[in-house]
Amino acid sequence: MAVIRIGKLPELYEKLGREYKEGEIIYIEGERATRFYVIYKGKVNMIRFSPDKQRLINILYDGQTFGENCILDEARYEESAIAAIDGTKLISIPKKGMINLIEQNPSFAVDFIRLLTYKISEALHYLQIKWIPDSVIKIGEIILAHFDKFTGTKKLGIEEISSISGLKLEATKTSVEVLCSTGYVSLDDDKITILSPQNLRSYLLQLGRK
């Protein structure tokens, strides 16, 4: 996970922070991009809407960022951002403030470049996952993509994984059951936990070679 150093987060939250309720809209896809966001605490769903449905694109957690394209002229948000849980706390930096930070703080500018590089790499990885034909490998890769090496685990729900993968709910459940049978993943109260990320990665690689 890429980390950007923008000062002491508690102090920034006092100045630029806001708390959101579950389901509260932060911004809508297509709106003018005017702010950069840091998740101080909580969980944010990135969603794309179509005429007949909505699709969960990504889930972001503590310390992660979004809205980076606000520094570009005439840029618009490419997804909708919605608070996923009550008490989600965000630090919101306006476009002008971001540009000033980049121009006046070399270490911040370097961090921001690294962040953009990470975001591009992450987007390409998700694009690769999208085209994986094997549903078990696809679901396994999505679970791994949300594993947090700093705090141990990220717990995803079956419906969340189904939405991210684009697979139907039953197909997702079947794939998760296969992964649970390996002993590297567990399912408790519809929440998935990775028990051994290294072994899960090795299992998916072996499965892909068959």
pLDDT band (50, 70, 90) for residue 6: low
Q: What is the mean pLDDT of residues 117-132?
A: 87
What does the pLDDT read at residue 74?
A: 86
Dihedral sign from CA coordinates of 31, 39, 24, 176: positive
What does the pLDDT read at residue 88?
A: 96
**Which region among 150-154, 157-161, 162-166, 192-196 has the lowest average model confidence (pLDDT)?**
150-154
What does the pLDDT read at residue 199?
A: 95
Alpha helices in the chain (DSSP H): 9-16, 95-104, 106-130, 135-145, 158-165, 169-181, 197-209
Task: Tell me the domains of the chain and their CATH numbers.
Answer: 11-128 (2.60.120.10), 133-209 (1.10.10.10)
Q: DSSP class of residue 32?
A: B
What does the pLDDT read at residue 176?
A: 95
Do 37 and 90 contact (CB within 8 A), yes or no? yes
Cα of first residue to Cα of last residue in the chain, in angstroms, is 31
Tokens standing for residue 191: 């929440």
| pLDDT over 80 (residue 205) | yes
* Pairing label, strands 156-157, 80-83: unpaired
What does the pLDDT read at residue 136?
A: 96
pLDDT digits (tens, 9 = 90+) for 132-156: 999 999 999 999 988 765 455 557 8
pLDDT digits (tens, 9 = 90+) for 97-110: 989 988 988 888 88
Q: What is the mean pLDDT of residues 69-88?
A: 93
pLDDT band (50, 70, 90) for residue 91: very high
Instruction: List b or e across 50-80, with b for residues whose CB sees 16 or more CB atoms inside 10 angstroms.
Output: eeeeeebbbbbbbbbbbbbebbeeeeebebb
